[in-house]
Every structure is written in C-alpha cells, then in structure tokens.
A and B are shown apart, each in its own frame.
Chain A
Amino acid sequence: MSVEHHVGGDLLLAYGAGSLDEATSLLVATHLALCPASRQELGLVEEVFGVMLGSIPVDAELDESMLDAMISSPRLALAIPATSGSFVLPQPLRDRAGGDVGDLNWRALGGGIRQVPLRTNDTATRARLLSIPAGRSVPDHGHGGFEATLVLAGTFYDREKWYRRGDVAFADPNVVHQPVAGPEADCICLAVTDAPLRFRSLVPRLLQPLFGL
C-alpha cells in the first residue's frame, strides 16, 4: 500500500539543504525509505541544490597538491554487501535505535504504552519510538511545539484520518488530540517533538515526569 500522508515540501527542502535538525532528519529519512514518491521529490530538491552549487561565484583556484593524496586512496568495488531479513525499522532508524523493534530496551510509560528514547546531538528536538497497544488511545495532549509522528507498524487514527506504515501525522502547537491505535496490531511509531507535551488531565500530568515527554 502506498504512503498517503507525506512530509511537506518545507521539510524536504531543509533535509536536502542539510539545515534540518537531527531528530526531524531521522524522521524524514525513515519516511523516504518507505515512500518512493517522496524520494523522487527529494531527487528534485537535490538537483536544484546541485545547480545552485555549480553557480556559486568563486574567485580563487585551489592548491592541487591535495590531488595526489586523494588519488592514492583505494577505490570502492561496485559490489555492496546486501543485508537480508525483514525489518520493521528501516535504516537509518535501525542504526540509531540499536536494532530492530525486538532487540530494543522498551521502557513502560504506563497504560501499556512503551517507549525507546533515541539519542540525538541537538537538544531542541527529541525523537523517540513509541509502542501503543492495539486499540489503546494515547492520553489526549496538547503541545508546546510541533509534533510529527511516523507510523512504522500497525495503524493509528487521529482527527478523522487513518495513518499506516510510512505515513506522517503533524500536529502544530494549537492541536489537542487523542490518537488511537488501530485494533489489528500494536502501533509502533517514531515521534519527534520540539517542545514538551502538555497533558490535559491530571493523571497523565502526574505521569509526565516518568514519561520524560
């Protein structure tokens, strides 16, 4: 089934330019692994930047003495070792998480919801894997900032739309929502937030320090 909910052109441009934060770049790269149409659009973005690079005005020639060092290094043969097997997490997410979903150290958040925080070097934006039991809803919450959620397994339903593997849901700072995992399987997703979530009801608010959200 093809992906229906894509990352926006603003994210593709920033990802292509290399100016997107690391956590959001991880989400975009994972979406690209699952969405051929977005890969084609990234190709367009990179082509534009390639032309812009070629048009940068230059005023100096380079010292060519470094050419010899570069040419003396060994060249790559065409064969690339193929990975085999089937994975829930595509690359580069598998590398960042330290394995596929079964290999990870999931931490309980309460309500059957589990998470794996992913380390990134920038602190303004945070990435985590979430596992939500089939049919369970995430406590309704608002945001101090933006939230992007990429589905990796199962489905979830949020604000009258279904999201499946590869789909990305965006919530801006004004949205208060209560996503629900589909009934057929646990929903595993990558969530990227750029500010702490704010839960509306008391109980999740008390849980918040435990969530680390």
Chain B
Amino acid sequence: MEKQGNVIEYPKKHASGTAVRTVMDQDTAESVEANASPGGRTDEMSAWLVAVAERGDREAFASLFRHFGPRIRAYLLRAGGDAGRVDDVLQETFTSVWNRAALYDRSRASAATWIFTIARNRMIDAFRHDSRPEFDPNDPALHPNPLPGGEEAFATQERAEAIKNALATLSEGQREVLWLSFYEGESYPEIAIRLGIPVGTVKSRARLAFGRLRSELGTKWKDMR
C-alpha cells in the first residue's frame, strides 16, 4: 500500500508517445544506490564540483557528466525538446557547469540542485524563447539575507534522504501536480486541462504540497545546519 502510494502513473503525453511510469520510491533509491560507491554519493558529487572549481579537474567533470548528463537529457526530452535541441541545451548546460563552477557554494546547495537550476534556465531560454527572470544576488537593490549562514558544511546526503521521505508523504494528487510541473514543465492551467479539474484545485494541491514539504523539511533543515 505504501509502495502503491509512491508510484505515479502518467497519462500519455502525445498520441504517439508511450506512457511513462515514474517511480520515486525505494525502487529509485535502490537504482541510485546500485551505481553508487559506498558512502555518501551526494557528498561525493559535491566534492567533484568543488574539484572542478578549484583545480579545473577534468576527471571530476567527466564524472559529473556521466552521472547527471543522461538524467538532464531525459529531463529535457520530457520538457518537450526535440533530440537536436536537447543535445544543444545539454552541451550548454555542462559548458556552464565547467565555466561557472567557481560560483558553486557547497554549503548552500547540493551538486544536483545547482546543476538542475542551470539546466532549467537553459531549457526555458531555448525551448520557450523567454529569458528566465532571475534575481541577481549582487544587485545593490537586493535585500540581503539577515541570517548568518552557509559557514557549516551542509549534510547533503542526509538531506537527500529526508527529501525522498518527505516526497513520499505527499498525497497522490499533490505528487501528480508536482511531477507534471517539474518533469513535463506544464503550467497549472495545462495541468488542469490534462487532469480535467479546475485550475484552482491544481493551485491548492500545489500549495498543500509545498506546505507539506516545508513542514517536513523545515525543522530538519535547521537541525542539520
């Protein structure tokens, strides 16, 4: 029953497409674990990124590419890119990872999070012809963070586990909205049409999902800092 609750069955995206079942549960944890070296895989990946930043370490960069490249490619394909553009965006993403590694701060984010944000922004620029509106942390008009933080190493491995557990506590409807928004890049009005429910219901599921994640992870966040 627990297991059932953790599986999302996707409807077909295109008439020609095959339905894809995305699993976010023990199966995934095991498959991630299966190609992991002993010890914290998440922390190891952050260390690779730091090695790229500090030493221009090509082997560490190749390791990041081997791990995240296929996942980002799958993400970009699901977000609606054709194969040619997907490979362009994939290349741009990793070129940015290489060029901008000096900006990575492991005390603030895992390698997965940092690389995801780069891929997402490139995807928006390339597929939607928007330029992604992003705040600039160096803008003098930015209200600076009053909280000291970021000095201590972030327990990314434990955080990743906590996040997987928190995702498993979402209701099926909440998870469905989160998945379609993330994996398919669908807006709330598009999700409402796909699921045949009012857009207000989609938004309220999203709010509930967010509230749940925050209450599950908020206190643990503090504990781990």
Residues on A facing B (Cβ under 8 Å): 3, 8-10, 12-14, 17-22, 25-26, 28-30, 32-36, 39-41, 43-58, 60-62, 64, 66-67, 69-71, 73-78, 80, 82-94, 96, 120-122, 124, 166
> In the complex, which of the residues B99, B135, B146 contacts A75, with contact meaning CB atoms closer than 8 Å?
B99
Does A73 contact B99, Cβ atoms closer than 8 Å? yes
Q: If A13-B206, A35-B143, A50-B110 touch, does A67 touch B65 (CB 8 Å cutoff)?
A: yes
Q: Please, what's the 1-or-0 string for B141-169, where 1 marks a CB less than 8 Å from any CB in chain A?
A: 11111110000000000011001101100
Does A43 contact B109, Cβ atoms closer than 8 Å? yes
Does B116 contact A29, Cβ atoms closer than 8 Å? no
B124 within 8 A of A: yes
Tell me the complex Cα distance, A56–B77, Å. Answer: 12
Does A71 contact B61, Cβ atoms closer than 8 Å? yes
B163 surroundings in chain A (CB, below 8 A): 47-48, 51
B204 surroundings in chain A (CB, below 8 A): 10
A3 surroundings in chain B (CB, below 8 A): 143
> In the complex, which of the residues B32, B109, B112, B187 contacts A21, with contact meaning CB atoms closer than 8 Å?
B187
Does A70 contact B136, Cβ atoms closer than 8 Å? no
A166 surroundings in chain B (CB, below 8 A): 143
CB distance from A197 to the nearest CB of B (A): 19
CB distance from A11 to the nearest CB of B (A): 9
Does B186 contact A19, Cβ atoms closer than 8 Å? yes
B171 within 8 A of A: no
Q: Please, what's the 1-or-0 string for B8-29, where 1 marks a CB less than 8 Å from any CB in chain A?
A: 0000000000000011100011
B139 within 8 A of A: yes
> In the complex, which of the residues A18, A29, A50, A73 contacts B114, with contact meaning CB atoms closer than 8 Å?
A50
Tell me the complex Cα distance, A57–B26, Å. Answer: 13
CB distance from A98 to the nearest CB of B (A): 14
Does B123 contact A18, Cβ atoms closer than 8 Å? yes
A76 surroundings in chain B (CB, below 8 A): 99-100, 102-103
> In the complex, which of the residues B23, B68, B91, B217 contacts A57, with contact meaning CB atoms closer than 8 Å?
B23
> In the complex, which of the residues A67, A78, A121 contacts B130, with contact meaning CB atoms closer than 8 Å?
A121
Q: If A20-B187, A48-B213, A62-B66 touch, does A39 touch B145 (CB 8 Å cutoff)?
A: yes
Does A121 contact B129, Cβ atoms closer than 8 Å? yes
CB distance from B102 to the nearest CB of A (A): 5
Q: Which residue of B lies closest to A45 (CB)?
A: B210
Interface of chain B: mostly helix, strand, loop or mixed? helix
A83 surroundings in chain B (CB, below 8 A): 138-140
Chain B 191-225 interface residues, beta-carbon cutoff 8 Å to A:
203-204, 206-207, 209-211, 213-214, 217-218, 221
A34 surroundings in chain B (CB, below 8 A): 141-143
Besides A14-B187, A50-B115, 8 new A-B residue pairs in contact (Cβ under 8 A), listed by A number: A36-B144, A50-B116, A51-B110, A51-B163, A53-B71, A62-B65, A91-B139, A94-B141
Does B133 contact A17, Cβ atoms closer than 8 Å? no
Tell me the complex Cα distance, A54–B217, Å. Answer: 18
Q: If A53-B71, A67-B65, A82-B138 touch, does A29 touch B133 (CB 8 Å cutoff)?
A: yes
B49 within 8 A of A: no
- Of the listed residues A18, A77, A82, the one surrounded by the most CB atoms of chain B closer than 10 A to its CB is A18
Q: Which residue of B lies closest to A10 (CB)?
A: B206
Tell me the complex Cα distance, A30–B110, Å. Answer: 25
Q: Please, what's the 1-or-0 string for B79-93, where 1 marks a CB less than 8 Å from any CB in chain A?
A: 100000001001100
CB distance from B42 to the nearest CB of A (A): 8
Q: What are 25 residue pairs bridging A and B, where the CB atoms are less than 8 Å apart in the complex?
A: A9-B206, A10-B206, A14-B206, A17-B181, A18-B132, A22-B128, A25-B133, A28-B133, A30-B135, A34-B141, A36-B143, A47-B163, A48-B163, A49-B120, A50-B115, A52-B182, A53-B68, A53-B71, A56-B22, A57-B23, A70-B94, A71-B58, A75-B101, A120-B130, A166-B143
Tell me the complex Cα distance, A78–B24, Å. Answer: 37
Tell me the complex Cα distance, A75–B53, Å. Answer: 9
Q: If A21-B187, A43-B108, A120-B130 touch, does A57 touch B31 (CB 8 Å cutoff)?
A: yes
